Structure 1
Amino acid sequence: MGIAILSCIGAAVTTASANDSAAHIGAGGLEFTTTDAVIMEKEDLYLSPELVKVDYVFRNVTSSPVEIRVAFPLPRLDMRLVQGCSDVGIPHPDDENFVRFATQVNGRPVRMDVQTKAYVASRDITPVLKELGIPINSLGGKLQERLERLSAAERNRLTEVGALGEQEYCGDGPQPVWTTETIYHWQQRFEPGVATRISHGYSPVVGSFFISPDDKLFGPPDRMTPRDPDLTRFCVDEGTWRAIRKRAAKGGAVIGRNLEYILQTARSWRGPIRDFTLTVDKLMPNALVSLCADGIRKVGPTTFEVKKRDFRPDSDLDVLFINF
């Protein structure tokens, strides 16, 4: 969920947690782009199961003011999981701003625009859902109620575009199988040579799943996983598995919770991130945490830190939290 750039090209305005990024508003909506005018001098990123905070310092390195549409995309949500049997924690499911995303620029609140789209694979089905009055910007009861009231013709229309599953989900009514992408964006002016401070905060979407610690493990010692669920993306090592099995032996289910954050959109800005700090907070001292990150070190009873200079991220973050 990183900051990106959206450069306005004059067309009408019509998806990680992520770094702020640059983009432009094309005929089909927001499109990410890059800028050579503004650098990201600093990023302080804090991730926990309950809160994501990120503070940036940007600087316009040209001699003229620059107007840029700045965007923050959240990771796409699989509606089969959100509306199905899986335990996906949507902080505020019936609000359009379902993560209570908020931004400040130089200490002052910013009013943001929001783009929400729905996809089946790479196909944009947003126009079809809007035509049928399906509330794609609501992830709670309103969406479920509307799906339960679909007429036969509406069901057929949604089935034609691949938006409904063949099986019913855990509640009443058809199962949505699209993914939802939410992007927060606003127009920002960067004055020449001046530091611009941008801060975001929100309650993240967190998924949950069971882990069977007695299952056979596969993979190298620094990326071990059972067959199901596949935990490869969390870089679980031998020491973490020993801790999981030791604590699981005392009884009770082992539940993993995962938090995604889009980091690669930081590549929208000129050059690397000059000064990057990641803080991961597991919140509870007896909890476990695992993620793929070089140079991570424990700095407090519940916190871990990664520091990098001239950092150009080539992957996003996926953090595993395990509470007992």
Structure 2
Amino acid sequence: MTSSETRKRPMLPRTIRALLLVAATIAPPQARANDSTAELATGGLIFTRSPDIEMRSEDLFISMTEIRVQYRFFNHSSRDVDTQVAFPMPDISFGMDSDIAIPTNDPENILGFSTTVDGSPVAALVERKALLNGIDKTETLKTLNVPLAPRTGQKQDHLSQETWDRLIREGLIEDTPRADGYMTPKWVLKTTYHWQQRFPAGQEVSVSHRYLPSVGGTVPMSASTFLDNPSILQIERSKGLNRFCVDQDFLNSMVRSPNLNWQQNYMEYILVTGANWSGPIREFRLVVDKGAPENLLSFCGHGVRKISPTQFEVRASNFVPSANISLLILKPERADPAAARDADGSQNVADQPCDQLWQQRNSIFKAGGYCFRTPRAIAAFGNAGCKYDNILDVPLSARDRQVVNDIQRIERIKACPR
């Protein structure tokens, strides 16, 4: 669907959002691909169950740059209620196949989470645990002076050979030489912010929090690539799956711009866990901002209406969510291989995934007028205006030829499919 015609589906009923789960555990397998970065599903606050506290309103704002939520709670009992409040961060897996979008460089607050109560900042405590196959290894790592959240690309030269061998022996890291200095952890990091909150009898309390979303995505692709491979958009019509409620109008909007590539961005917001208050949410409001008027937005919702060139709103009374929110935002990018190549010229091709290397290499030949032969390349680039059937006849500058040679060398090292 287009951003102005967001698909309707009964919007999300049964509980407040809460536990933050890695996207792969809640999305279809197609959520991960070689050319993609996966998102971390995020949600809201978890309250200890209390029949005395009702949620009078929830105002949720979601964009690719910020998530904001404001709640109004009311204690309708004759006594004060003290309860534990928690905000679990998404689980982080450090395995060799891990490629997830983390918006900050702070290992203790990967989403830049902050919260206020009645306008005053909350001094939250943080609990961090390292779990290996469900077993808590936190104290072991601390004793060995191993960081629970090692930075990617940072050498761990301070670890002795004895410590390194023990980590391998206990299955905590991949079996790699210590001389390389780079450690690949195999544990999962769990981080939770928590604090004790008082809800005075007969009074309303306002709780709000904000953080940066984890946005998954892919390299820009042509409309024909998406149409030929609907699983990229997580559409499996034969199985009745359509995570983002993508409809024909949405696909038509892509086709109407044949000279554009589209960058896929997706987010997951968890609504369905933690119904720990008294009754439904009296007034629920969701605003989604797609970022720019030319972007395409699709998500499942009922009664969606456009309130600005980039924002869409859903309102509900006595709301009990029963499904999570999955957002798909496509950002257009003009298919100008030369410009894209210049922009990427300073990047180290060794850091790029195979599909991105393939895209960059073939963009150079497309700009040179090569007539592609493989179905994959024809679908991605087309052969309109091509001149050369023999790839050796394509006139490349010395700089372009060097870039191609570098890419092909890295592709051989990575054993990338051709």
Q: TM-score, normalised by structure 1?
A: 0.75
Select which of 90, 109, 122 maps to 1:97: 109
Q: Could you say which residue in structure 2 is the equivalent of 1:72?
A: 87
Q: Does 1:18 align with 2:30?
A: no
Classify the secondary structure of the residue corresponding to 1:314: coil
Whole-angstrom CA distance in 1 between matches of 2:328 and 2:129: 27
Amino acid at match of 1:303: Q
Range 313-322 or range 38-47, more displaced:
313-322
Q: 1:104 to 1:238 in 2, by over 3 A?
A: same
* 1:6-45 → structure 2 map (5 Å cutoff): 16-23=41-48, 34-45=49-60
Q: In the TM superposition, what is the alpha-carbon distance from 1:77 to its structure 2 partner? A: 3.2
Per-residue CA deviation, residues 124-183 of structure 1 (Å, 9 max, x unaligned), is 4434433433333x4635xx4255765555455445665445799xx9734334433322
Per-residue CA deviation, residues 216-265 of structure 1 (Å, 9 max, x unaligned), is 4369xx972599xxx84323222222223444x3143x322222222223
Q: 1:112 to 1:135 in 2, by over 3 A?
A: same
Whole-angstrom CA distance in 1 between matches of 2:250 and 2:163: 49
Aligned residues: CA RMSD: 3.4
Whole-angstrom CA distance in 1 between matches of 2:292 and 2:245: 21
Q: 1:48 to 1:72 in 2, by over 3 A?
A: same
Q: Could you say which residue in structure 1 is the equivalent of 2:320?
A: 312
**Which structure: larger Rg?**
2
Q: TM-score, normalised by structure 2?
A: 0.60
Q: 1:2 to 1:271 in 2, by over 3 A?
A: same
Q: Is the 8 A contact 1:280 1:305 kept in 2?
A: yes
Q: 1:125 to 1:192 in 2, by over 3 A?
A: same
Q: Is the 8 A contact 1:215 1:226 kept in 2?
A: no
Q: Is the 8 A contact 1:16 1:73 kept in 2?
A: no
* 1:135-284 → structure 2 map (5 Å cutoff): 135-136=147-148, 138=149, 140-141=151-152, 144-145=153-154, 153-155=162-164, 157-159=166-168, 163-164=172-173, 173-210=182-219, 212-217=225-230, 224-225=235-236, 232-247=242-257, 249-252=258-261, 254-284=262-292
Q: Is the 8 A contact 1:225 1:236 kept in 2?
A: no
Count of residue correspondences: 289
Q: 1:129 to 1:319 in 2, by over 3 A?
A: farther
Per-residue CA deviation, residues 258-288 of structure 1 (Å, 9 max, x unaligned), is 2222222341222221111111111111112
Q: Is the 8 A contact 1:2 1:16 kept in 2?
A: no
Gaps of 5+ in 1: 5-14, 24-33
Classify the secondary structure of the residue corresponding to 2:55: strand
Structure number having the greater strand percentage: 1
Q: Could you say which residue in structure 1 is the equivalent of 2:309?
A: 301
Select which of 134, 138, 141 maps to 1:126: 138
Structure number having the greater helix percentage: 2
Classify the secondary structure of the residue corresponding to 1:267: coil
